[in-house]
A and B are shown apart, each in its own frame.
Chain A
Amino acid sequence: MSYVNHADLGGREGFGRVFAETDEVLWHAAWEARALALSLAMGATGAWNIDMSRSARETLPDYAQLSYYQIWLAALCKLMIERGLVTEAELAAARVQVEPRPLPRMLRASEVSAVLAKGSPTTRPVAGRARFEIGDRVRTRANHVDHHTRLPSYAAGRVGTIERLHGMHVFADTHARGLGEQPQWLYTVAFDGRELWAEAAEPGSTVSIDAWDDYLEPA
């Protein structure tokens, strides 16, 4: 079954103007704020990781029709139902019907400030030399993969230049599939606008992405 990422929007046409609200409020309804808080609180239990969250969101079949927090809510339910933490019937009835599953931890009110301030760094100890150095020319992986990845389609199979090394980071592609952190060297790769968009490119523009080692080959 093919993995469809509905969120891979870079370079796609037809979405129209950017509409920016003046004095935009954080949340347009109280439920949106609760959806954010529920997502963060459940994420903090350790039942899944952020890469699994992103994967759950981007694969929602109605991604394009949902508002931002509707996406968060739908993905949260999907993640929990997949793990047997809740059932559809419970959510519909607003009533517990199935025994709770044990979770690694619960985020308490008194801990929120410290937990948010600490975050979840993805850097891991350096093991082995980086394959690439600043200035190296690299080509990104060209083929579509059947899983969560952070190489956008518009930057696939393109030649760019290593701009920065970020040390070793948890690898999103494996982390999202429950295959472990498998840290890899992370690089910023800079592409000439023309490499990505040919004559349509903004003259003199550069687009940079952050790419793990697995995405790259020497060019």
Chain B
Amino acid sequence: MSHDEHSDHDHDHSELSEMELRVRALETVLDQKNYIDPDALDVIVDTYQTKIGPRNGARVVAKAWVDPTFRDWLRHDATAAIASLGYSGRQGEHMIALMNSPQEHHMVVCTLCSCYPWPVLGLPPIWYKSAPYRSRAVKDPRSVLAEFGVSLPETTRIRIWDSTAEVRYLVVPMRPAGTEGFGEDQLATLVTRDSMIGTGLAAVRGPSS
């Protein structure tokens, strides 16, 4: 290892432990001031680690694929339809469902920060919160999609939704061909997190993936 690599490695470690120390100091002070309940912190972490994630949204999408009444409900009142499956609340209080079609492909971004429909997708990935996606999704969506390995027909119009207020958007990807007769649970496994943001497509996975 060169001297420079050693320095970078050490720098990373010391920066990490600096952050750990700062956060611990903060937690100590806030606890001692009785501003926070430290057990509440554990519940919050556990909630987003294990209970709230994209499997929620995948259930919503799968149900929309098989149940035309639910799909309609999603179209007219996504908040209520999604809540009926048990998903609601923080950063998902005002939901809109966007239905992909051969004519129209929807993509969601928050150029100003990282607004994201937490109750159905959990916490956003780093790329969603980072400058490349936030800057380019609204201006050059097709090249962004290409970087995700998504290639749409030229005739498909792209609609980008910038989440500038508290309305949150869930993309309902198209149901893949060859899935007739699949049950809801199986269909839900085809719905990727990215397909519900609009940077991916739902697909039947081949034997190689």
Interchain nearest-CB distance for B169 vs A (Å) = 9
Specify which chain B residues have a CB less than 8 angstroms from the CB of A150 in the assembled complex.
Answer: 112, 164-165
Is the CB of B208 closer than 8 A to any CB of chain A? no
Is the CB of A182 closer than 8 A to any CB of chain B? no
Specify which chain A residues have a CB less than 8 angstroms from the CB of B22 in the assembled complex.
Answer: 31, 73, 91
Q: Do B126 and A21 touch (CB < 8 A)?
A: yes
Interface 9-mer from B27-35, B59-67, B171-179, B180-188: B27-35
Which of A18, A45, A70, A154 gathers the greatest number of chain B CB atoms within 10 Å? A18
> Known contacts A151-B164, A186-B165; is A17 also within 8 Å of B147 by CB?
yes
- The residue on B at minimum CB distance from A90 is B29
Is the CB of B72 closer than 8 A to any CB of chain A? no
Q: Do A18 and B133 touch (CB < 8 A)?
A: yes
- The residue on A at minimum CB distance from B161 is A208
Specify which chain B residues have a CB less than 8 angstroms from the CB of A95 in the assembled complex.
Answer: 28-29
Main secondary structure of the interface of A (DSSP, over half): mixed
Which of A93, A205, A206 gathers the greatest number of chain B CB atoms within 10 Å? A205
Is the CB of B1 closer than 8 A to any CB of chain A? no
Q: Do A58 and B112 touch (CB < 8 A)?
A: yes
Specify which chain A residues have a CB less than 8 angstroms from the CB of B165 in the assembled complex.
Answer: 122, 150, 166, 169, 172, 186, 210-212
Which of A70, A155, A186, A209 gathers the greatest number of chain B CB atoms within 10 Å? A209
Q: Do A207 and B94 touch (CB < 8 A)?
A: no
A-contact bits for B75-114, CB 8 A (1 contact / 0 none): 0000000000000111111101000000000000101111
Interchain nearest-CB distance for A50 vs B (Å) = 8
Question: What's the interface size class on B, roughly?
Answer: 35 or more
Is the CB of A13 closer than 8 A to any CB of chain B? yes
Cα–Cα, bound, A9→B109 (Å): 11
Scan residues 128-149 of chain B and give those whose CB is less than 8 A from a CB of chain A. 129-136, 138-142, 144, 147-148
A-contact bits for B28-58, CB 8 A (1 contact / 0 none): 1110111111011111110111001000000
- The residue on A at minimum CB distance from B79 is A121
Interchain nearest-CB distance for B168 vs A (Å) = 10
> Known contacts A37-B45, A206-B157; is A111 also within 8 Å of B127 by CB?
no
Cα–Cα, bound, A122→B115 (Å): 14
Specify which chain A residues have a CB less than 8 angstroms from the CB of B189 in the assembled complex.
Answer: none
Specify which chain B residues have a CB less than 8 angstroms from the CB of A121 in the assembled complex.
Answer: 93-94, 166
Is the CB of A1 closer than 8 A to any CB of chain B? no
Specify which chain B residues have a CB less than 8 angstroms from the CB of A57 in the assembled complex.
Answer: 113
Cα–Cα, bound, A205→B89 (Å): 31
Cα–Cα, bound, A77→B112 (Å): 21
Specify which chain B residues have a CB less than 8 angstroms from the CB of A152 in the assembled complex.
Answer: 111-112, 162, 164
Partner of A108, one of B37, B111, B132, B164: B37
- The residue on B at minimum CB distance from A100 is B33
Q: Do A10 and B112 touch (CB < 8 A)?
A: yes
Going nearest first, the 8 A-B pairs with the smallest beta carbon separation are A10-B111, A94-B25, A109-B39, A119-B89, A210-B165, A100-B33, A37-B41, A15-B131
* Chain A residues with a Cβ under 8 A of chain B: 5, 7-13, 15-21, 24, 26, 29-31, 33-38, 40-42, 45, 54, 57-58, 64, 68, 70, 73, 76-77, 85-86, 90-96, 100, 103, 106-109, 111-113, 115-123, 150-152, 154-155, 164, 166, 169-170, 172, 186, 188, 196-197, 200-202, 204-212
Can you name 11 A-B pairs with beta carbons within 8 Å? Answer: A11-B135, A18-B136, A31-B24, A68-B126, A94-B29, A108-B37, A112-B47, A119-B92, A122-B165, A151-B164, A196-B139
Starting from the known contacts A10-B112, A34-B27, A210-B167, 16 additional A-B residue pairs (CB-CB under 8 Å) come to A20-B147, A36-B44, A37-B44, A38-B26, A42-B30, A54-B112, A90-B29, A93-B25, A106-B34, A108-B40, A116-B90, A117-B90, A118-B90, A154-B139, A188-B167, A202-B158
